[in-house]
Amino acid sequence: MSTVLDPRPNQTHSLSVREWAEMIKIEHTVFALPFALSGLILAMPKLPEPMTVVYTVLAFAGARAAAMTLNRLIDSEIDARNPRTSERAIPAGRIKKSHALLGAILSFAVMLGAASQLPLICLQLSPIAIFWLSFYSFTKRFTWLCHIVLGIALGGAALGGWVAAGGSLALAAPWVLALAVTTWVAGFDIIYACQDAEFDRNEKLHSMPSAFGVGTALIISRALHVVTVGSLFAISQLLHLGVAYWVGLALVTAMLIYEHSIVSKDDLSRVNAAFFTVNGVVSILVFITILTDKIIAQFGS
């Protein structure tokens, strides 16, 4: 009598992995991880040791996975009512809320474990990071500053990279870098929120597009990105960065201008291109140019 193996368990496992990967948006790690690594590189006179990089990446990945999972868990009832998000894994019932909560706890444990292998200040600051990453998801219920709160959360990644390198937060440079990340993230989050302006208004949720209208929100987004470019310029002056960084800054400025050229209050059809593609390129460009500048400074002479 022959035995036929049922392929369905493997298929189910594969689907489950894809559901979790989609929920925590692994691919979006490209947005902020390069800035965390940029902080790590800028804070050190030389390139960091490999294990310092590994633990920094693990700490960031754990924090981000926990934050995304909590965001989806906390917003699951809202997502269920929004046609754009109703098919997400938790509101659609494909991932249980209890499993999501456990996943968030385990992700924070990974963050704490990695932070314990870095300078002590990283572990000491971890409770602040956990609070802020958990707090963010509630802010749209009471303030249109929720975009800034998210920006500060990811700006903290740049500060985290800086202290992971043993850098001092008494200096101006890490805070200017954090300001660049904060305003960059807040600016593109406002663009993304324009899709849900009417829904948020009807649900009494707070966002800049729902509070001020899409047109005004896009103007605020542009203003925030002007601050981003100004902050990145200030970094070059504070740390005396070289030609590679200046080339990168020019390209980043061009990408942000392009981002705002493809969305308007009358046409939001290219929001996803602005949000996903352009900002992924911006983040990677900043990191590559900072890394290149450091390599040239260290090995070029």
CA distance 87 to 23: 11
Q: Are 121 and 162 contacting, i.e. CB atoms less than 8 angstroms apart?
A: no
Residue with tokens 């929720």: 146
Q: Domain locations in the chain? A: 23-296
Q: Which two tokens stand for residue 133?
A: 């990453």
| Torsion region of 167: left, alpha or beta (phi above 0 gives left; psi -120 to 50 gives alpha) | beta
Name the CATH topology of 23-296.
Answer: Tetracycline Repressor; domain 2 (1.10.357)
CA distance 133 to 137: 8
Q: Are 244 and 289 contacting, i.e. CB atoms less than 8 angstroms apart?
A: yes
pTM: 0.90
Q: What is the pLDDT of residue 186?
A: 96
Task: Please list the pLDDT of the chain residue by residue as tens digits (301 residues).
Answer: 444 445 555 555 555 777 766 666 665 666 778 988 999 999 998 899 999 999 999 999 999 999 999 999 999 999 999 998 898 889 988 889 999 999 999 999 999 999 999 999 999 999 999 999 999 999 999 999 999 999 999 999 999 999 999 888 999 999 999 999 999 999 999 999 999 999 999 999 999 999 999 999 999 999 999 999 999 999 999 999 999 999 999 999 999 999 999 999 998 888 887 777 788 889 899 999 999 999 998 887 5
